[in-house]
């Protein structure tokens, strides 16, 4: 028990360090500059709660699904399928934001180079930061990262202690609840930041690959995800509080020694407020406190970058192995599955943003608007059964882009209403999607009852025959479990038959080729139940078998009961994979395998994306 708590504490430390990226590092200074202590708490509390809620809810997901220690990994494989692109984009923006913030608010204010050498200097700094993240990520991996972060966390604690001990005076005057400098930030503008921050920070971790990979690894180690993320949220809250209060100390004790700079939009930014102070007073402070602070920033950024490298390597590697895209198959998997190209892209984004004179907030608008709808839908798909419909990719992207534009316009125009609308609009749309799916489900489930009841009306009965369409609920197992048309056991469609003389070979065993026929018969019965309206005369598509594989485990003989189970195991844009298992009379496994289906036009046999009718029919059985 003590070891489990120690393991949870180590993971909690890693969670906190990986979440202390550019957003937590430097926006904690800016929000304190804008709104004082109330702004810092507004930023820190939802941030920490978002981590804790992610841990609490993913713990529930892991416990509610079968698979033991792999239950969360199995769940994530299916859950992440429609979110793969957005998960990847989220990670790119997070890493680019971190590198940009560290360079722009730490190294640029140090003024180590000026003039023509500045561009070369920035390129070298960005390269060194990314290379350090790759090195640490490659060196440790997810199994060892909690240990490397424990060492880095110890160094970070030493840095914090050095700064606190060196404060002069050690106990500063009481911190201001509101900002001592920026009166124009008060009033309605406060709520324009408060509501988007609360929304974005509470749902933010759900699209972060680093947290999903950690939660899966924690569950594999039989530790508590809930406890780990409680420790992580608590440590992270203390780190934010330290950095924000340090900024308050600089403002209240040495406010005249720094100057906020005006950005492209005319707003005043003070992300590098503490960096300026330590740089200006480097010799006065003896060098130790500034060095401790600069090390604090470097450690926080490094523990985000190495986590990002490990998470991308895990995510890209898994998806490349499963991908059946022909274009991807032309490129070596070592390149596509490596995080290095992504890190190079992050470097280009960082350098472009530095040259364009952007600020941290230009990255942050994505997390307050664009990603909100996707994160909310991800949460719904974990816990709301009625949200398990195919992800409307075009509609979701359109809504996300529209909310991003609204929020950005509100930010540039200092319009509180538009800031709030840009964050709430994606949430409202996701609620509508879930409610709409629920309404559709209710109508579908009740349609048969309505038709049956209407058929009993004498006038209708006189002019039409009652037409009954079989559904999954109709195909149930009788007492002997050998339903004529098969039946469902959870996600598996089950059909049983008795092997006879014609199924055997010369020595009395069931001939090996018959197992494929058994699977084919079961598949056709499954299609008949899943898509009862399918008609070969009017269909616009055909379902063809792309590949079939089967592993033989045991033999069966004449008059043995053969039970075939089949279900939808996986699908992407073009292909659908069915998994099957075959059992004998004593419920012993006879064999198992899988098959891949493709879809072609009934007119010219051209390859099609999976038709919407198939998605609608199959999604409930995945």
SS (H, E, C) 438-481: HHHHHHHHHHHHHHHHHHCCHHHHHHCCCCCCCCCCCCCCCCCC
Q: Which of 12-16, 235-239, 265-269 has the lowest mean pLDDT?
A: 265-269
Provide the percentage of residues in the chain whose pLDDT is more than 70: 84
Task: Give the per-residue pLDDT at 35.
Answer: 87
Residue ranges of the domains in the chain? 2-383, 487-621
What CATH architecture applies to the domain 487-621?
A: Roll (3.10)
Is 50 exceeded by the pLDDT of residue 467? no
Give yes or no for residue 303 having a pLDDT over 70: yes
Q: Kindly tell me the sign of the dihedral angle through the C-alpha atoms of 454, 458, 459, 463.
A: positive
d(CA 394, CA 432): 16
- Does domain 2-383 correspond to CATH entry 1.20.1740.10? yes
Among the ranges given (341-355, 433-447, 585-599), the one the predictor scored with the smallest mean pLDDT: 433-447
Q: Residues 123-177: pLDDT tens digits? A: 999 999 999 999 999 999 898 999 999 999 999 999 999 999 888 655 556 566 6
SS3 for 111-135 is CCCCCCHHHHHHHHHHHHHHHHHHH
Classify residue 83 by its DSSP letter: G
Cα–Cα distance measured from residue 459 to residue 154, given in angstroms and rounded to the nearest whole number: 82
Mean pLDDT computed over 97-121: 88
Cα separation, 223 vs 65, whole angstroms: 16
Once rounded to an integer, what is the mean pLDDT over residues 469-493?
61
Q: How far apart are CA 509 and CA 591, in angstroms?
A: 14
Smallest Cα–Cα separation from 298: which of 95, 133, 113?
133
User: Taking the CB of residue 89, how many other CB atoms lie within 10 A of it?
Assistant: 15
Give the residue-averaged pLDDT of 374-402: 82
Contact criterion met (CB below 8 Å) for 99 and 130: yes
Taking every pair of Cα atoms in the chain, the longest distance, rounded to a whole number of angstroms, is 100
In order of 13, 15, 167, 342, the CA distances from 250 in angstroms are 27, 28, 10, 37
Q: CA angle 411-414-419, nearest 5°?
A: 50
Report d(CA 346, CA 352) in Å as an integer. Answer: 10
Nearest to 483 by CA among 474, 491, 495, 471: 495
Judge whether 588 and 557 are in contact, CB under 8 Å: no
Looking at residue 517, its pLDDT comes to: 93
- pLDDT score for 161: 94
Whether pLDDT at 180 is above 70: no
Question: Is pLDDT of 456 > 60?
Answer: no
Q: What percent of the chain has pLDDT over 90?
A: 51
Distance CA 92, CA 343 (A): 8
Of 255, 285, 290, give the one whose Cα is nearest residue 275.
290
Which pLDDT value is given to residue 617? 80
């Amino acid at each position: 028990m003590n070891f489990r708590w120690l393991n949870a504490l180590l993971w909690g430390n890693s969670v906190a360090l990986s979440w202390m990226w550019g957003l937590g590092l430097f926006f904690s200074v800016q929000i304190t500059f804008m709104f004082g202590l109330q702004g810092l708490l507004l930023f820190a509390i939802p941030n920490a709660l978002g981590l804790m809620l992610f841990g609490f809810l993913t713990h529930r997901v892991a416990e509610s699904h079968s698979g033991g220690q792999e239950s969360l990994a199995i769940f994530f494989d299916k859950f992440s399928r429609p979110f793969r692109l957005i998960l990847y984009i989220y990670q790119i923006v997070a890493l680019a934001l971190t590198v940009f913030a560290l360079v722009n608010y730490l190294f640029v204010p140090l003024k180590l180079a000026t003039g023509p050498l500045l561009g070369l200097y920035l390129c070298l700094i960005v390269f060194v930061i990314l290379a350090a993240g790759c090195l640490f990520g490659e060196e440790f991996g997810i199994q060892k990262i909690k240990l490397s972060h424990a060492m880095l966390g110890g160094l970070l604690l030493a840095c914090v202690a050095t700064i606190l001990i060196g404060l002069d005076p050690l106990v500063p005057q009481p911190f201001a609840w509101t900002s001592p400098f920026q009166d124009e930030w008060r009033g309605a503008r406060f709520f324009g930041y408060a509501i988007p921050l609360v929304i974005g920070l509470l749902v933010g971790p759900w699209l972060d690959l680093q947290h999903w990979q950690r939660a899966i690894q924690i569950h594999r180690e039989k530790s508590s995800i809930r406890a780990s993320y409680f420790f992580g949220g608590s440590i992270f809250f203390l780190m934010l509080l330290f950095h924000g209060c340090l900024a308050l100390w600089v403002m209240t004790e040495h406010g005249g020694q720094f100057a906020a700079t005006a950005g492209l939009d005319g707003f005043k930014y003070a992300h590098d407020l503490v960096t300026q102070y330590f740089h200006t007073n480097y010799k006065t402070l003896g060098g130790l406190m500034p060095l401790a602070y600069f090390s604090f920033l470097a450690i926080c950024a490094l523990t985000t970058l190495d986590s990002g490298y490990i998470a991308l390597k895990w995510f890209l590697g898994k998806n490349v192995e499963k991908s059946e895209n022909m274009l991807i198959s032309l490129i070596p998997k070592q390149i596509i599955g490596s995080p290095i190209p992504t890190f190079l892209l992050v470097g280009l984004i960082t350098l472009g943003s530095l040259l364009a004179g952007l600020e941290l907030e230009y990255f942050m608008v994505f997390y307050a608007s664009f990603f909100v709808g996707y994160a909310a839908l991800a949460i719904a798909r974990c816990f709301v059964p009625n949200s398990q419909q195919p992800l409307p990719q075009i509609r979701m992207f359109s809504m996300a882009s529209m909310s991003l534009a609204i929020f950005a316009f509100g930010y540039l125009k200092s319009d509180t209403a538009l800031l709030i609308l840009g964050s709430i609009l994606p949430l409202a749309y996701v609620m509508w999607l879930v409610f709409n799916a629920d309404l559709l489900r209710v109508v579908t489930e009740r349609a048969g009852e309505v038709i049956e009841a209407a058929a009993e009306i004498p006038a209708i009965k006189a002019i039409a025959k009652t037409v009954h369409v079989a559904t999954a609920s109709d195909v149930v197992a009788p007492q002997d479990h050998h339903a004529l048309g098969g039946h469902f056991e959870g996600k598996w469609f089950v059909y049983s038959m008795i092997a006879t003389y014609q199924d055997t070979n010369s020595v009395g065993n069931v001939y090996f080729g018959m197992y494929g026929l058994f699977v084919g018969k079961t598949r056709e019965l499954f299609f008949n139940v899943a898509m009862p309206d399918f008609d070969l005369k009017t269909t616009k598509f055909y379902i063809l078998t792309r590949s079939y594989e089967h592993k033989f485990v045991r033999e069966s003989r004449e008059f043995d009961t053969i039970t075939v189970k089949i279900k939808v195991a996986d699908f992407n844009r073009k292909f659908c994979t069915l998994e099957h298992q075959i059992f004998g009379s004593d419920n012993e496994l006879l064999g198992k395998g899988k098959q891949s289906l493709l879809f072609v036009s009934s007119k010219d046999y051209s390859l099609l994306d999976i038709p919407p009718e198939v998605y609608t029919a199959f999604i409930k059985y995945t």
